[in-house]
A and B are shown apart, each in its own frame.
Chain A
Amino acid sequence: MDTIFALASARGKAGVAVVRLSGPVSHAAVARFCAVPPLRRAILRRLIWQNEVLDDALVLLFGAGASFTGEDSAELQLHGSTAVVSAVLRALSQIDGLRMAEPGEFTRRALENGCLDLTQVEGLADLIDAETESQRKQAQRVLSGALGQRVEGWRRDLLRAAALIEATIDFADEDVPVDVTPEVSGLVSGLLASLRQEIAGARAAERIRDGFEVAIVGAPNVGKSTLLNALAGREAAITSDIAGTTRDVIEVRMDLEGLAVTLLDTAGLRDSSDQIERIGIERAIARAGAADLRVFLLSHAGEAPMMQPLPEDIVLVGKSDTLASQEGAISGKTGAGLDALIAAISSRLAGRAASAGLLIRERQRIALERSITALESVQTALDRSTYLPELVAAELRSAMRALEALVGRIDVESLLDEIFSSFCIGK
């Protein structure tokens, strides 16, 4: 088994950069730079390579069986300078038995050494990808195996229902309860209710993972782009006094009080004879409609917007710097009302995030929906006065297979393909 190393933190200038090593000679490799500290104790050491000081770093060793990968491993927490990091990596690559890690190799080793199961690996991938606090919490929940436990509970109910039906099929001539329909029916309705609830939470969960979309909509030249720039803190959209400057949809990704949010700046809504502008307006309406939340900017109080705000949407008057009354108004230019808007957006989105379930991947949601479809067929069949039990059994079986796919019980091969392809080096 090779010993591998890689930069585990993000590339580029940063406060701290972490280089990770894993494998049988990882401790010996560290010993080439400094006196090794005892296991699991972070000690500040001066790293010296070929009589040259590379850096003063926090050095941390883990023993086999008590590390992330399950192998002997080490972490060097360096100063986050590109020069320091590349000097250390260069030195490591000169040590016999050490090589640069392949993408995802640390995680794969953890998996191969039984330190993680499949859903935990997926959770971990998300944890590493997590940009915001709520994404991190969610990934942490999956990592703790909560999803696996929940699926196990559903599987137990499904097994019971399947067993009841199978009994009437295989032991028709014997002393088994003739009418199992009520119990099966009860189990299936219960399952459907909790699976549907999980799906409902899945949308919010997906949003936490991929970000909520918030669209800024309104008539031309009410200050939408200026507001976007103010919220984003940088010049993302071109602003001018000429109405209709924004034609395409502009996206800015940001962290809004711990939630990942994509702000959409859209073309101003008006009747236009300009063909290109009209396409932009159509696009604006479509994107704004699909967004999770809309912020309407009006040119004056009482204006009727071109699209109807939904109950949770926020409606404000723009360019408050030009108005006498600041009531219900905002200005991207002066920043007046900006804090209140951010608070309003994040409180609405936080409410939705709170209902998030554990299904954070498309693959997981699809598996659950397949299970639901199968169970709905079961319910339809059971509601009829006569039904073919072997068809009900077949549907229960496919509901079960869908759930098993969710936790990687079957079709492991393709599942692994998906997981490993989403990893990048050093994780």
Chain B
Amino acid sequence: MRAFHVKHFDVIVVGGGHAGAEAAAAAARMGANTALISLRKDGIGVMSCNPAIGGLGKGHLVREIDAMDGIMGRAADRGGIQFRLLNRRKGPAVQGPRAQADRKLYRQAIQDFLAQEPNLTVIEGEVVALRVQGGKVTGVDLAGDIALDAAAVVLTAGTFLNGVLHFGDQRRPGGRVGDDPSIKLAEQLAGLALERGRLKTGTPPRLDGRTINWDVLEQQPGDDEPVVFSFLNAAPEARQIACGITHTNAQTHDIVRANLDRSAMYGGHIEGVGPRYCPSIEDKVVRFADKTSHQVFLEPEGLDDPLVYPNGISTSLPVEVQEAYVRTIVGLEQVKITTPGYAIEYDYFDPRALDQTLQLRTLPRLFFAGQINGTTGYEEAAAQGMVAGLNAAALALGRPPITFGRSDSYIGVMIDDLTSRGVTEPYRMFTSRAEYRLTLRADNADQRLTPKGVEAGCVRETRRIAFEAKAEQMALAQAQLAATGFTSRELAAVGLHVSQDGARKSALQVMAFPDVEEQHIAALVPSFMDFDPVVRSQVARDALYAQYLHRQQDEASALKREEAAEIPPEFDYSALHGLSNELTAKLERRRPANMAQAGRIEGMTPAALTLILAHLRKARREAVAR
């Protein structure tokens, strides 16, 4: 064994992107002696794509990370320069906090938070190989003959795996612009014989904001009352700015259409599958041919940075075509492109090879998180990083695993989707993926997860105390509101007209009715107004969905029942004669852990589920008979 400098850690995290940073922070919070290895220290926390955090579904993930005392939410609050609560006019269950972030401020915040972790060492270096002994990962080798031992390793290799960049018909290997791909490590991973797939993603050209004619553009300001991410924060820290909005036009589309054969995506240079929900400008022009205009958001990359990210026109056309089409857009007639847009292709490993803690089933003590699992987005990456980091630490410290379920969090929804369904396109979170959406809200992430985090040991005192105080106040307020029942006449007296079914209603029940304002509640229960506004509005949001809670709990317990019907890993699907070959092959590949997972495999039929269950019961009967 060639190991000149051997150092020992509990947990090693490879990669300093969003997954890596969150994984390292989580493992360190758990009390594990943690190393974060990144090619460049100053690259940690870099936003390599658009300069924004949060959104629908994604904002939920950030809140959940924060509820477990993670760092993404607090970093976004520090770096955020334009906050908008999406779906403000819809109900709180589908509202998602989002912020434009100053790249430098955000990166600095992440690096600061990591520097504050006493159990964390940041190491600059290139991981050339995993150390494997007795079928388990025991550490990593760094370039320069340095060996690091660890009880668990979290790999967050991002898009570096066999990454290829495409600028039109030009291509070169690389992760993101300016970085070297980790080819050697990729070769070792290839040796693990994991199933892999190829995905692609695109970026728009970056623009010099000083060459944009802002005067002719529509402005999109942030919210008057910004909603921040962290439950520990009340307001943004940085100066707030507006974004610009412009549109593509027929001329733009003509240029794109005329040069489609020179696009990496359409010229046949790319084999990877791209996301349907974030199409390139080439995609938009081809697939939505009848639309003559598409929205483009001009997002400043920082307060003192002239760079602008034009959200909505990612592309893999040659540089000169990019220049031509961008300049057809209103406000961008004179614009200078600082970095051209490009497409990137990369490998991901089929996440169905992972268990619920994101540990590789076939190579224990190795965890995967982030884009390597086929996801896209900073938030998805960070959430996985946190799960992997927490569990790598739990494994190293001999504590029980920390798992998330579909009924407790978006994190649980994502982990279950990835590990039981796998991905067919870059996986992104949506609120519609969460069947218990009314209870899994961004606003109650702390109520759902902070107690779990406290129990797991990853929540610090400051947050625990703040959370418990809020929870106590909420319970008190709810008790006061529930204490008194009002007749429909009494309700009418304060301006609330409800059906006269004769039943008295408490103020808490009244809160679920449409058009009920805080003033009405104040008139019924004046002491309610003595509570903190944060507590008051949270009580109101909980009350709004109270009648659906019961139903979702019923459904959740049905789900738990199906999750309890476990399918043994050695289950012989080929012995089920009624299954189609296609379904048998799918089941054998995926090996669903239980009936709930089996039911979510696409193409699954009721008859097939019944068959599996019938066989499970038969096996159980035979086991009993023996």
Neighbour of A175 across the interface among B94, B295, B430, B606, CB < 8 A? B295
Interface residue B291 (Cβ < 8 Å from any Cβ of A): yes
Interface residue B142 (Cβ < 8 Å from any Cβ of A): no
Neighbour of B578 across the interface among A70, A401, A407, CB < 8 A? A70
Smallest beta-carbon distance A265→chain B, Å: 44
Q: Which of B591-626 contact A (CB under 8 A)?
A: 595, 599, 605-611, 613-615, 617-618
Interface residue A39 (Cβ < 8 Å from any Cβ of B): no
In the complex the two chains form, is B431's CB within 8 Å of A118's CB? no
Residue interface bits B64-89, CB-to-A below 8 A is 1, else 0: 00000000000000000000001100
- Which stretch in B261-269, B432-440, B531-539 binds the other chain? B432-440
What is the chain B residue whose CB lies nearest that of A115? B578
A70 CA to B606 CA in the complex, in Å? 19
In the complex the two chains form, is A111's CB within 8 Å of B94's CB? no
A410 CA to B555 CA in the complex, in Å? 11
Interface residue B486 (Cβ < 8 Å from any Cβ of A): no
A344 CA to B443 CA in the complex, in Å? 67
A173 CA to B296 CA in the complex, in Å? 11
- Which stretch in A48-56, A90-98, A385-393 binds the other chain? A385-393
A411 CA to B595 CA in the complex, in Å? 9
A114 CA to B90 CA in the complex, in Å? 46
In the complex the two chains form, is B432's CB within 8 Å of A393's CB? yes
- Chain A residues contacting B555 (CB-CB under 8 Å) are 398, 401
A412 CA to B431 CA in the complex, in Å? 27
Q: Which of B35-62 contact A (CB under 8 A)?
A: 55-57
In the complex the two chains form, is B57's CB within 8 Å of A170's CB? yes
A348 CA to B430 CA in the complex, in Å? 56
- Chain A residues contacting B431 (CB-CB under 8 Å) are 169-170, 390
- Chain A residues contacting B561 (CB-CB under 8 Å) are 411, 413
Smallest beta-carbon distance B408→chain A, Å: 18
- Chain B residues contacting A45 (CB-CB under 8 Å) are none
In the complex the two chains form, is B558's CB within 8 Å of A111's CB? no
In the complex the two chains form, is A117's CB within 8 Å of B607's CB? yes
In the complex the two chains form, is A114's CB within 8 Å of B578's CB? yes
A69 CA to B578 CA in the complex, in Å? 11
Q: Which of B457-489 contact A (CB under 8 A)?
A: none
What is the chain B residue whose CB lies nearest that of A70? B577
Smallest beta-carbon distance A410→chain B, Å: 7
In the complex the two chains form, is A169's CB within 8 Å of B432's CB? yes
Interface residue B548 (Cβ < 8 Å from any Cβ of A): yes
Residue interface bits A405-419, CB-to-B below 8 A is 1, else 0: 001111111001000
Smallest beta-carbon distance A318→chain B, Å: 49
A112 CA to B562 CA in the complex, in Å? 19
- Chain B residues contacting A148 (CB-CB under 8 Å) are 606
In the complex the two chains form, is A413's CB within 8 Å of B610's CB? no
In the complex the two chains form, is A416's CB within 8 Å of B91's CB? no
Interface residues on chain A, size class = 35 or more
What is the chain A residue whose CB lies nearest that of B57? A170
- Chain A residues contacting B578 (CB-CB under 8 Å) are 70, 112-115
In the complex the two chains form, is A114's CB within 8 Å of B595's CB? no
Interface residue B217 (Cβ < 8 Å from any Cβ of A): no
Interface residue B414 (Cβ < 8 Å from any Cβ of A): no
- Chain B residues contacting A412 (CB-CB under 8 Å) are 562, 595, 599, 606, 609-610, 613
Interface residues on chain B, size class = 35 or more
Smallest beta-carbon distance B510→chain A, Å: 17
A393 CA to B576 CA in the complex, in Å? 36
In the complex the two chains form, is A390's CB within 8 Å of B93's CB? yes
Interface residue B551 (Cβ < 8 Å from any Cβ of A): yes
Interface residue B294 (Cβ < 8 Å from any Cβ of A): yes
Interface residue A166 (Cβ < 8 Å from any Cβ of B): yes
Smallest beta-carbon distance A401→chain B, Å: 7
A389 CA to B431 CA in the complex, in Å? 12
Interface residue A394 (Cβ < 8 Å from any Cβ of B): yes
Interface residue B395 (Cβ < 8 Å from any Cβ of A): no
A384 CA to B515 CA in the complex, in Å? 12
A327 CA to B579 CA in the complex, in Å? 65
Interface residue B146 (Cβ < 8 Å from any Cβ of A): no
Interface residue B129 (Cβ < 8 Å from any Cβ of A): no
In the complex the two chains form, is B610's CB within 8 Å of A408's CB? yes
In the complex the two chains form, is B90's CB within 8 Å of A108's CB? no
- Chain B residues contacting A32 (CB-CB under 8 Å) are none
Q: Which of B528-559 contact A (CB under 8 A)?
A: 548, 551-552, 555, 558
Neighbour of A111 across the interface among B91, B438, B599, B611, CB < 8 A? B611
- Chain A residues contacting B614 (CB-CB under 8 Å) are 108, 111-112, 416
Q: Which of B512-533 contact A (CB under 8 A)?
A: 514
Interface residue B273 (Cβ < 8 Å from any Cβ of A): no
A397 CA to B551 CA in the complex, in Å? 12
A170 CA to B57 CA in the complex, in Å? 8
Interface residue A172 (Cβ < 8 Å from any Cβ of B): yes
- Chain B residues contacting A413 (CB-CB under 8 Å) are 561-562, 565, 595, 613
A108 CA to B295 CA in the complex, in Å? 58
In the complex the two chains form, is B548's CB within 8 Å of A394's CB? yes
What is the chain A residue whose CB lies nearest that of B278? A174
- Among A115, A388, A408, chain B packs the most CB atoms within 10 A around the CB of A388
- Chain B residues contacting A111 (CB-CB under 8 Å) are 610-611, 614
In the complex the two chains form, is B599's CB within 8 Å of A416's CB? no
Known contacts A113-B578, A175-B294; A118 and B607 CB within 8 A of each other: yes
Known contacts A111-B610, A113-B577, A411-B562; A394 and B90 CB within 8 A of each other: no
Known contacts A391-B91, A394-B438; A114 and B576 CB within 8 A of each other: yes
Smallest beta-carbon distance B281→chain A, Å: 13
In the complex the two chains form, is A409's CB within 8 Å of B599's CB? yes
In the complex the two chains form, is A114's CB within 8 Å of B611's CB? yes
What is the chain A residue whose CB lies nearest that of B430? A170
What is the chain B residue whose CB lies nearest that of A414? B561
Smallest beta-carbon distance B480→chain A, Å: 26
- Chain A residues contacting B430 (CB-CB under 8 Å) are 166, 170
Neighbour of B56 across the interface among A65, A114, A170, CB < 8 A? A170
Known contacts A393-B437, A408-B609; A172 and B577 CB within 8 A of each other: no
- Chain A residues contacting B551 (CB-CB under 8 Å) are 394, 398
A401 CA to B554 CA in the complex, in Å? 12
- Among B558, B578, B618, chain A packs the most CB atoms within 10 A around the CB of B578
Known contacts A169-B94, A175-B295; A411 and B613 CB within 8 A of each other: no
A108 CA to B542 CA in the complex, in Å? 46
- Chain B residues contacting A390 (CB-CB under 8 Å) are 90-91, 93-94, 431, 437-438
In the complex the two chains form, is B606's CB within 8 Å of A409's CB? yes
Residue interface bits A156-186, CB-to-B below 8 A is 1, else 0: 0000000000100111111100000000000
Q: Which of A49-74 contact B (CB under 8 A)?
A: 65, 70
- Chain B residues contacting A408 (CB-CB under 8 Å) are 606, 609-610
Neighbour of A112 across the interface among B55, B91, B595, B611, CB < 8 A? B611
- Chain B residues contacting A70 (CB-CB under 8 Å) are 577-578
Smallest beta-carbon distance B577→chain A, Å: 5
In the complex the two chains form, is B437's CB within 8 Å of A394's CB? yes
A70 CA to B615 CA in the complex, in Å? 15
Smallest beta-carbon distance B553→chain A, Å: 13
Chain A residues engaging chain B, CB cutoff 8 angstroms: 65, 70, 108, 111-118, 148, 166, 169-175, 384, 386, 388-391, 393-394, 397-398, 401, 404, 407-413, 416
State the 8 A-B residue pairs at the shortest beta-carbon distance, nearest first: A114-B578, A117-B607, A388-B91, A166-B432, A408-B606, A170-B430, A112-B614, A409-B606
Between A and B, 22 residue pairs with Cβ closer than 8 Å are: A70-B577, A111-B610, A111-B614, A113-B578, A114-B608, A116-B607, A118-B606, A166-B430, A170-B56, A170-B431, A172-B90, A173-B86, A175-B291, A175-B295, A390-B438, A398-B555, A408-B609, A409-B599, A409-B606, A409-B609, A413-B565, A416-B617
Chain B residues engaging chain A, CB cutoff 8 angstroms: 55-57, 86-87, 90-91, 93-94, 277, 288, 291, 294-295, 430-432, 435, 437-438, 514, 548, 551-552, 555, 558, 561-562, 565, 576-579, 595, 599, 605-611, 613-615, 617-618
